[in-house]
Homo-oligomer: A and B are copies of this chain.
Amino acid sequence: MSFDREQVLRDAAALLSRRATASMDEIAKAAGISRATLHRHFPGRDALVRALGLLGIAQMDERLDAARIEEGDPVEAVRRLIDEAMPVSGFLAFLYGENQLYDMPEVNEGWARVDERVSALFRRGQEQGLFRYDLAPTWLGEALYALIAASAWCVQDGRMARNDSARMVSELMLGGMLRSAS
């Protein structure tokens, strides 16, 4: 069985974002490989966590690029952002929840860059008079990550269809739950 680094990391992120206390043994099992192999490729738990952080950030950067969030209508940009981010929601959930990452400067910086890009989008929407002024861009960012993570867990647990998740997040973020005014 060949070793698929990205798949292993995906499985690890999915597990760790739900159970931060998972042992290396459980992680290896979840990824379908042996402890020793896991250790060979990621020498130490810290190395694994770092790799998860770095890959997660790289993925997010790619997705933000693909979504061209700096361009066009902010509302549509938010939709594209969510659509693009959803396939890597497992990594985002991990990044959002894992506090150990705070001790890793490189990861921290990378995440700050990602977060800044997202915040900039929200600011741009506010400046164009499209987004509410009374919700801080920082909070909108946090809320977005929280909702994407929540939807990822719902999908994982079978409480939501994978194909619905992007819309569930987009609609709530953009329109709220009220039927009213629209």
Contact = CB atoms under 8 A, between A and B. Distances in A.
Interface of A: 18-21, 75, 97, 99-100, 122, 125, 129-136, 138-140, 142-143, 145-147, 149-151, 153-154, 159-160, 167-168, 171-182
22 contacts: A19-B20, A75-B178, A129-B179, A131-B177, A132-B178, A132-B179, A135-B172, A135-B177, A136-B160, A138-B154, A138-B159, A139-B159, A142-B153, A142-B154, A143-B150, A143-B172, A146-B150, A147-B147, A172-B172, A175-B176, A175-B181, A181-B181
B171 A132 contact: yes
A46 to B, nearest CB: 13
Nearest to A165: B139
Contacts of A147: 143, 146-147
Total identical chains: 4
A143 to B, nearest CB: 6
A175 B174 contact: no
A82 B143 CA distance: 15
Contacts of A132: 171, 175, 177-179, 182
Contacts of A171: 132, 134-135, 176
A180 B125 CA distance: 12
A178 B178 CA distance: 12
A12 to B, nearest CB: 15
A178 B131 contact: yes
A19 B151 CA distance: 21
